[in-house]
Amino acid sequence: MVTEFRLGLALDGVGWHPAAWQASAVTEPAALFGGEYWAGWGRAGAEAGIGFITLEDGLTAQTEQFGAAPADPAARVRGRLDPVVTAAVLLSASTVGEVVVTRNVTHTGPFPIATQLASLAAIGPGRVAWRPQVSANARDAVVVGGTPTPELRPEDVHVPARIARRLRDLFRDAETHVRTVRDLWSTFPAGALGSGDEFWRPDRIGTTPGPLNVPVFATPPVVTLAHHALEPYRLAAAVADRVLLTPTGDHPLPRVLAAFRTVEGLTPDATPTEAYADIAVVLGDTDEHAHARLARLDREAGAPWTTDTGIFTGSPAGLAEVLTRWRDEHGLAGVRLRPAVLPEDAGRILRDVVPLLAG
């Protein structure tokens, strides 16, 4: 049994459901691009005792269907604050235990990412983690002017094996990318800083080309999101400290966890990886209330909500029961919850679910 079970809150705009904007109490789009909105969630998470908060990255505007152009401009708020900027706000304005920063590694070089994460670690030593993200959207390459990447069709998105097969080379590039970033972090550790008349201590600088121009006060752990397929599992086993697994009705947690551990055991030089579950949630006062909420959201969106992971729909007590069972029976280190709508679902997580898991 795991003695500490960490609960994470995945923040993205006003929620993960495509119709979240129509249902949210947030009415001003500008609020999502200001620091107070994010600082408020950081303070709320810290007060509730949440284990970590995750922030998303994206090079193109959000769409209703993967790979398509944005549809009705009034249907949702498009765009995001840069997750590094948002993380700096959360770390500075709250005492939240950890901020997991997603960063695209397909179209971003290792040196900028190493510098950005080291800078955040200087703001909040020991409170920063990094989620390297493989770009699965060919439109990203068009935006940045980079090398074209394999194109996923909408029907591929919910079939992890197709994703892995089409993006195999990108996952392998991501492994090299993560190792390079870690090498860069080793070139300028905090102990290399000088004192008095010394600016730094050259004998403590690493040998990797660089050195990094920002001291690393605490090396951020690496967190990967791994859908149930060989390539993302291999990437997680090879370079991640934690992995977010995506159980669904067709691929329940025991099966995906066993599959990941098998891949981990076959991966050369793999180190033990903490396993987390990653699920979307729609919460209500009762199970019936939650299902009614989801039905309304789906009507607003014009289609049932489908995601890359499972969707829990029910009461906070029911969710806490599921998570407790996963912890006790399968030894999960924690879970990341994606709230359908902010503030409603995130508020219920902080107010109702966290105390039930702590009790």
Dist CA 247 CA 207 (whole Å): 41
Dist CA 235 CA 164 (whole Å): 11
What's the pLDDT at 189?
72
Record the pTM. 0.89
Closest C-alpha to 291, from 307, 260, 315, 313 = 313
Count of CB atoms situated within 10 Å of the CB of 290: 24
Ranges of residues in the chain whose predicted pLDDT is under 70: 1-3, 59-76, 136-161, 163-164, 191-211, 359
What's the pLDDT at 258?
97
What's the pLDDT at 207?
62
Q: Confirm if 48 and 350 have CB atoms less than 8 A apart.
A: yes
What's the pLDDT at 1?
36
Say whether the peptide bond before residue 215 is cis (omega within 30 degrees of 0).
Answer: no
Dist CA 152 CA 166 (whole Å): 7
Dist CA 293 CA 23 (whole Å): 10
Angle at 169 between CA 56 and CA 132, to 5 degrees: 20
Dmax (CA) of the chain: 68
What's the pLDDT at 72?
58
Exposure string (b/e) for 44-57, b if CB count within 10 Å is 16 or more?
bbbebebbbbbbbb
Write down the H helix ranges in 96-201.
110-123, 138-144, 160-166, 168-187
What's the pLDDT at 197?
58
pLDDT tens digit sequence for 280-323 = 999 999 999 999 999 999 999 999 999 989 999 999 999 999 99
